[in-house]
Structure 1
Amino acid sequence: MPLTGIRVLDFGRYIAGPYCAALLADYGADVIRIEAPGGNDDRFTVPVAADGSGAMFLQMNRAKRSLTLKPASPEGRGIVRRLVETADVVVANLPHDALVKLGLDHDSLSAINPRIILATASAFGRDGPLSRNVGFDAIGQAMSGTVHLTGTPGQPYRAQVNYVDFGTALHLAFGVLLALREREATGQGQCVSGSLLGTALAMSNGLTIDEALNGIERQPIGNRSFGSAPTDLFRTRDGWIVTQIVGGPIFARWAALVGRPELPADPRFASDILRGDNGEELSAIMQGWCIARTSAEALAELAEARVPAAPVLKPGEALAQPQVAAMGLVEPVAYPGTPAPAPVIRAPIDLSASAKIPPCRAPQVGEHSDAILAELGYDADAISALRAQRII
């Protein structure tokens, strides 16, 4: 597997750090999650298991080993030092001053192991007036312009899925792979830095370029699109569907399907941006067509015409789709004390010549502490003493 032999120390919390490390674990890295004795708060978000472990935790920490530790204690610092000596990557989505306090900043880590790569993410990065502030996903959404443009006039909405956190994790994982590749040439590690605000702004950059160069201060328009139409959500006789009509050929096929073949010749609809500007009228036409049909009927006709469309599904319906089963995306993983195996989705990519590791569950609190410490040279008496002192 591509990352076999790479050891990752995961001090991450919630999504940005842990998901980065989980992606590396999927392809063979030995990832050690380091959390406080008794478990960190992010373990218990939306509990689904008898021990309180949560749904997000089972996804973010699959295939990892767990070491409980108080890293700020003198004994804990000694253990961290031994871990860093054996590691390739440290993941820690913490502000820079917190990293320094724990001895997890890159200067401190590289003094122990010059080959170490530190992957770190914070809300606002290391520099600037907000660099010491903390934040979560919604902060990035709100400060990137997307919350303002989502929803309706007078009522902005944030996305329910934490896409800024996930995007930051993906950028960090990309950076780690670049740093590993560079280390092959230089023998030296480096720091990979990301931020929630940076990720959010990168993802909304098309919108900010539009305003900077076109001078248009766009306002929220519900589920419609600024740059295409009819791109919107539509009620059918028994539910909702979405369409995304982009490009002249697809628009012409859609127009013919809904009985309005003259629309492509209308100068108001001559391009994607003009269709977006006049999207309210096109959405009304599509809504009239959809309401006379069930979702299944509408989707069948749209598919036949090769017009992009999909049903609006509930989370439980999403995993039950035959297409999801055909793609092999869901991998049930048993975790102690859950009513059924968790339907975990790992990295949704396939390499033609390199497989992922077999599906593995997330660890219970401190499940591998003794084994990891033994690997570092601690004997049974020393491990018992550390446990008695609540260091592990």
Structure 2
Amino acid sequence: MSRVDDLGVLEEIFGRRGTGPLAGVVVADLSRVLAGPYATMLLADMGATVIKVESTTGDDARAWVPPHRDGESTFFLSVNRNKQSIALDFSDPAQLRVVERIIARADVLVENFKPGGLRRYGLDYDSVSAWRPDLVYASITGFGTAGGADLPGYDLLAQALSGMMSLTGSASGEPYRAGVALFDVITGLHAVSGILGAFHERQGSGTGQHVELNLLTSALSGLVNQSAAYVAGGSVPTRMGNEHPSLYPYEPFPTLDKNMVIAVGNNGQFARLCQCLGAPELAVDERFATVGARNANRVELRQLLIDGLSTRNAADWFERLKAAQVPCAPILGVDEGVHFAEGLGLEPVVMAGFGEREIPTVRHPVDFSRTPVDYTHAPPLLDGDRDRVLAWLERVEPEVRKAS
């Protein structure tokens, strides 16, 4: 691996344990809000040393409250674990020089400035790659650098412009956004995969490259079967409420006390559902015996299923259907979802940091058998690691400096 920092120095100065698969990799994080910070947190969890370079007023997400924990935005806390923060004013030549020194030491740079926004500081890809050709430089925008360059990169805009909102909500109601910034998250995940792909290629070639992502392309990719319905099939999907365009039953159904989800993906599951409902004849009824037939006759089938489910409450049906290997689930709140995951032994909550600054966070989604994730650092206070970052820069002289 080329240009990977000394683990002993990183552990001594930043307290990284050096156990993750990216131990020794240094990331200059010039991103803000969600897509970029989510990507860099996942890299940090995997052992990378992430230097979060913030403006003197801090990442915008620090001010996004409520909710908060002891005055700190839980939005910010959700995507900034395991990072070191230094606040710098790019318009000040001396502070800009510190940014350049961080980049000179980094293996990866991640930024989500407006297209062209870093050019005036000489920190755009073309400028930086001239003196750091081995750097993996990842740029995240809302809508690319051509015709969409002037559009603000907000997830809600991507949900509207991609068609996502046209698919969300009841068939007769208004379009709705998803309850989470879905395409920011998807773009962050795509950024991680792109960075790792470019980093792997650099191991052989010794040369970095520009990894570019935007919310709209990630959104259209993330719409998978819905975007493919139009692109490959010429069919424009529409809102169907909680129903699925290709599967039935695959939605919430009322029971004796409240709704629960049933998600039947094949004929065998449907037969087991019918057996549990005491109506095995439905599974061989020509109106419902195949996926296509169930889709064509979903209105009639829905009422028959509701009649059967009305005899027991949701909790009882969940246990019975689960035992019969029929995919189903109660509809839980976020708090209940966390507790349900705990009950499965998934340990969804981990403490990041130690001592007085220890923050409960949601665990990294990947487990590594040999190079485990660690949660050494709580999300940083603004400029809270300035002394450590500067000490690291003095301790390890960069191999490459920007040409003056």
Same fold per superposition (TM over 0.5): yes
Residues 314-361 of structure 1, C-alpha deviation per residue, up to 9 Å, x if partnerless? 1111112264561122113468999xx643113211122220124531
Residues 340-387 of structure 1, C-alpha deviation per residue, up to 9 Å, x if partnerless? x64311321112222012453101111101221232239xxxxxxxxx
Match of 1:345 in 2: 362
Superposed displacement of residue 281, structure 1:
3.0
> Alignment partner for residue 319 of structure 2, among 295, 300, 309?
300
Residues 112-139 of structure 1, C-alpha deviation per residue, up to 9 Å, x if partnerless? 3221111111111122x22221121122
Q: Structure 1 residues 25, 273: CA separation in 2 closer, same or farther (over 3 Å shift)? A: farther
Greater Cα offset, 275-284 or 189-198 = 275-284
User: What amino acid sits opposite 2:138 in the alignment?
Assistant: A
Determine if the alignment matches structure 1 residue 223 to structure 2 residue 236.
no
Where does 1:328-367 land on structure 2 (aligned, <5 Å)?
328-333=347-352, 342-367=359-384
Superposed displacement of residue 253, structure 1:
1.1
Residues 23-62 of structure 1, C-alpha deviation per residue, up to 9 Å, x if partnerless? 1101110001111224222112234233x32112112000
Instruction: Note the residue ranges of structure 1 that are not aligned, 5 or more in a row.
Output: 379-392
> Alignment partner for residue 118 of structure 1, among 134, 137, 145?
137
User: What amino acid sits opposite 1:344 in the alignment?
Assistant: T
Match of 1:198 in 2: 217
Determine if the alignment matches structure 1 residue 62 to structure 2 residue 81.
yes
Q: Structure 1 residues 209, 358: CA separation in 2 closer, same or farther (over 3 Å shift)? A: closer
Residues 249-275 of structure 1, C-alpha deviation per residue, up to 9 Å, x if partnerless? 111111222233233333443433442
Match of 1:151 in 2: 169
User: What amino acid sits opposite 1:76 in the alignment?
Assistant: Q
Where does 1:272-311 land on structure 2 (aligned, <5 Å)?
272-311=291-330
Match of 1:168 in 2: 187
Q: Structure 1 residues 368, 132: CA separation in 2 closer, same or farther (over 3 Å shift)? A: same
Greater Cα offset, 262-271 or 161-170 = 262-271
Distance 1:200 1:162 in 2: 11
TM-score (normalised: structure 1): 0.89
Distance 1:226 1:335 in 2: 48
Where does 1:14-93 land on structure 2 (aligned, <5 Å)?
14-46=33-65, 47-50=67-70, 52-93=71-112
Match of 1:137 in 2: 155
Q: Structure 1 residues 213, 355: CA separation in 2 closer, same or farther (over 3 Å shift)? A: closer
* Matched residue count: 374
Q: Structure 1 residues 262, 144: CA separation in 2 closer, same or farther (over 3 Å shift)? A: farther
Distance 1:321 1:375 in 2: 43
Greater Cα offset, 110-119 or 280-289 = 280-289
Instruction: Note the residue ranges of structure 2 that are not aligned, 5 or more in a row.
Output: 1-19, 396-404
Superposed displacement of residue 99, structure 1:
2.9
Contact 2:81 2:375 in 1 (8 A): no
Match of 1:371 in 2: 388
Superposed displacement of residue 169, structure 1:
0.5
Match of 2:119 in 1: 100
> Alignment partner for residue 263 of structure 1, among 268, 271, 282?
282
SS of 1:243's partner is strand
User: What amino acid sits opposite 1:355 in the alignment?
Assistant: P
Q: Structure 1 residues 234, 335: CA separation in 2 closer, same or farther (over 3 Å shift)? A: farther
User: What amino acid sits opposite 2:309 in the alignment?
Assistant: C
TM-score (normalised: structure 2): 0.86
Where does 1:2-17 land on structure 2 (aligned, <5 Å)?
2-17=21-36
SS of 1:377's partner is helix
Superposed displacement of residue 287, structure 1:
2.7
CA RMSD of aligned residues (A): 2.2
Distance 1:219 1:319 in 2: 32
User: What amino acid sits opposite 1:130 in the alignment?
Assistant: G
Identity of aligned residues (%): 34
Distance 2:257 2:283 in 1: 30
Contact 1:141 1:164 in 2 (8 A): yes
Contact 1:168 1:196 in 2 (8 A): yes
Q: Structure 1 residues 34, 259: CA separation in 2 closer, same or farther (over 3 Å shift)? A: same
